[in-house]
Amino acid sequence: MSQTTTSATAQITCAFCKGAGKDPFDLLSERATCQVCGGTGKVEVVEPVIRCAFCKGSGVYHSTRITCTVCNGKGVVTAPKGPTEWCPKCEGTGAAIDSAMPCLKCKGKGVVSK
Ligand SMILES: [Zn+2]
Ligand SMILES: [Zn+2]
Ligand SMILES: [Zn+2]
């Protein structure tokens, strides 16, 4: 009868708009709300979280104006379960060496379960 799902969630500042709640790039209009946090400036994440290696915590996919596909613009990702180590394939960068896509092994997180 005991539930073992203990995924705690936390509210963090939205990385994409840095908590402003507005689209940082004025893509739609000057007053467009941030698509990541919906204008609240905060996003919910499942702990434990680590900084998104692919966007380096910015929430932005490289220098494009779209949200990072790894963290969905939050700037952090939920860490793999258990002990982790740097992803040997991308050496922790989260990016595939031969393309601008996230690393397939760690899915852009930069770390993998040991
Ligand atoms: Zn936002
Ligand atoms: Zn990211
Ligand atoms: Zn990797």
64-78 pLDDT, tens digit per residue, is 778 999 999 999 999
Q: How far apart are CA 21 and CA 43, in angstroms?
A: 10
4, two tokens: 């073992």
42, two tokens: 């905060």
pTM for this predicted structure: 0.85
Res. 6 pLDDT band, cuts 50 70 90: low
pLDDT tens digits for 16-51?
999 999 987 766 566 789 999 999 999 999 999 999
Beta bridge partners of 51: 76
Ligand nearest to the CA of 58: 2
Ligand nearest to the CA of 105: 3
Q: Identify residue 94 by its one-letter amino acid code.
A: G
Q: Which helix (H) or strand (E) holds 78?
A: strand 76-78
Note the pLDDT of residue 7. 76
CA of 102 to the centre of ligand 3 (A): 8
Ligand nearest to the CA of 102: 3
Place of tokens 């939920």: 78
